[in-house]
Amino acid sequence: MELSDFFREHPRAALAFSGGADSSYLLCEGLRRAEDLGVYYVKSPFQPAFELRDALRLASELGAAVTVLEADPLSEPAVAANPANRCYYCKKLIMSAIRRAAARDGYPLVIDGTNASDDIGDRPGWQALREAGVLSPLRLCGITKGELRRRSREAGLFTWDKPAYACLATRVPTGEPITAEKLAAIEAGEDALFQMGFTDFRLRTRDGAAKLQFIAGQHETAAARLDEIKAALRPYYSEVSLDPIPRERSK
């Protein structure tokens, strides 16, 4: 199946749009091929502010209107408690918000940017998508991450090489409760690292301390600037350390 076939079969759909490389490419194709594509972004404490800025910028460049919905996953006790399947409850809440808005606006179907490279075997959120009846055109059409990045670059999308950015809640270890304060500290800490020129990293937190993970190309730089990094993160964390093992580059 090609994307043209998918949108021929489903001419009216609502896109769960995150501003990442996957859903940005799907937005581009959906605007070209669907008769009517609704675009919905869910704003929550789990997403850093730059994600919404990127989403609105990309949509503006493509001439698409975005409906921004508000949601608070921490209002769901099963999310705040941070169990191993937290993503299931969070995704269920977010997709429920999109489905309600889509139904209100007359869209019979919700689609998302899950691609053919995504390993759905260890993703609790995938179960929530299936239960909600969400379809994933990129996956159904066999479009991999590498392929959609190539196509995105050819289409001139600035998101073509945007690193994958998991939600802020993934920085908190399973079983440690998630709070709005922890999420705000993570976002502020990672924003400080972005301002220092780092681009592909993770700030992991446990009990008020932070461990930083950088890709190989930036790990040595981070080690050399560790004192500077600690000073920048001191307002948010009592202890900051550098993971000695570089992390893999985001795909």
Find tokens 């409850």 and name the residue: 89
34's tokens: 């669907």
Domain ranges of the chain: 3-161, 179-242
2's tokens: 């090609």
Give me the CATH topology for the region 3-161: Rossmann fold (3.40.50)
The answer to whether the CB of 172 falls within 8 A of the CB of 203 is: no
Per residue in 115-171, pLDDT (tens digit) is: 999 876 667 787 888 898 999 999 999 999 999 999 999 999 999 999 888 899 999
C-alpha dihedral, 52 to 57 to 63 to 64, nearest 10°? -10
3-state secondary structure the chain: CCHHHHHHHCCEEEEECCCCHHHHHHHHHHHHHCCEEEEEEEECCCCCHHHHHHHHHHHHHHCCCCEEEECCHHHCHHHHCCCCCHHHHHHHHHHHHHHHHHHHCCCCCEECCCCCCCCHHHCHHHHHHHHCCCECHHHHCCCCHHHHHHHHHHCCCHHHHCCCCCCHHHHCCCCCCCCHHHHHHHHHHHHHHHHCCCCCEEEEEECCEEEEEEEHHHHHHHHHCHHHHHHHHCCCCCEEEECCCCECCCC
Find tokens 């945007």 and name the residue: 162
User: In which band, very low, low, confident or very high, does the pLDDT at 251 lie, cut at 50, 70 and 90?
Assistant: low
Q: Give the pLDDT of residue 122.
A: 64
Q: Give the pLDDT of residue 124.
A: 76
> CA 11 to CA 17: how far, in whole Å?
17
Same fold, 3-161 and 179-242: no
> CA 21 to CA 109: how far, in whole Å?
21
Per residue in 179-205, pLDDT (tens digit) is: 999 999 999 999 999 999 998 899 999
CB-based contacts of 9: which residues, under 8 Å, 6+ apart? none
End-to-end CA gap in the chain: 24
Domain 179-242, second-level architecture = 2-Layer Sandwich (3.30)
Per residue in 18-70, pLDDT (tens digit) is: 999 999 999 999 999 999 999 999 999 999 999 999 999 999 999 999 999 99
